[in-house]
Amino acid sequence: MTSPKQIQLENIAETDFEIFALLKQRYSPRIFNNEPIKSRHIKQLFEAIRWSASSNNLQPWRFIYAEKGTKGFQNIFDCLSDFNQTWADNAPFLMLAVYKENDNEGKENFHALHDLGLCLGAMTVQAQYLGIGVHHMAGVNWKEAHAKLQVPEGYHVATAIALGYYGGDLNDLPEELQKQETDKRHRNPQESFAFRGMWNEK
C-alpha cells in the first residue's frame, strides 16, 4: 500500500517540456510529517532567500516565523482565513512574508513585491531539495497580522506560508480536501501567457 508520503513525493507534474526535476516535484501540500523542521534546514531556507536577486540589492523582504506549539505559531494561525485554518495546523512551521514598501530614500519601491516573490521562489526550490513541502497562502488577514504581530508602518504582510517535511496522513484533512491532495496537476498552456513580439501573438 502506498503511504501518504509516497503519494506526495510521486505527485510529479507531467510537463510539456523537460524541466529541472525539483520544479516538477514541487507542489503545495496540505498535510505534513509531524517532525519539526531542523534548525539547520531553516537556516538553509533563509540563506536561499538571502542570496536571491532584488532590485538595487535592496532585499525588501522580511519574515515572521514560528514552530507549532508556540504562541507565535498560534498568532500566525489566527490570522489565516477560515478555509486555510481547516488544514494549516497540520504544518509544523508557519511563516508570514512581508515586504518593505519604500526604498531607503522613502520612495515607493515598485519592485518590492516582485522581489519578495522571487526570493520565495528560491526558498521553495531549496525546500524541495531538502524534502520540505511549502504551501503559500493568499488567505491571510493582513490587518490583523499587522496588529497581532506588531508589524511596523511601512511594511506590508503579503502572504502566509505553511512548511513541513513531506508525509502525514490524508485523514488529517477534511474529506473535501483529500481528493485535491492526490489529483492530477494542471497548468495553463504556454500559449495562453507567453507572447512573441506583441500581446496575444502566438
User: Which pLDDT tens digit goes with each residue over 149-185?
Assistant: 999 999 999 999 999 999 988 998 988 898 888 888 8
Residue 20 clears pLDDT 70, i.e. is over it: yes
Q: Where exactly are the structural domains of the chain?
A: 37-176
User: For domain 37-176, is the CATH number 1.10.1740.10?
Assistant: no
87 CB burial (10 A radius; 0-12, 13-18, 19+): buried
**Helices vs strands, H then E, count in the chain:** 8, 4
For residue 61, with 0-12 CB atoms within 10 Å meaning exposed, 13-18 middle and 19 or more buried, which class applies? buried
Report the pLDDT value the prediction gives residue 1, as an integer from 0 to 100.
Answer: 41
pLDDT of 28 over the 80 cut: yes
Q: What is the pLDDT of residue 8?
A: 54
Percent of the chain at pLDDT exceeding 90: 82
Residues 6+ apart with CB under 8 A from 191: 202
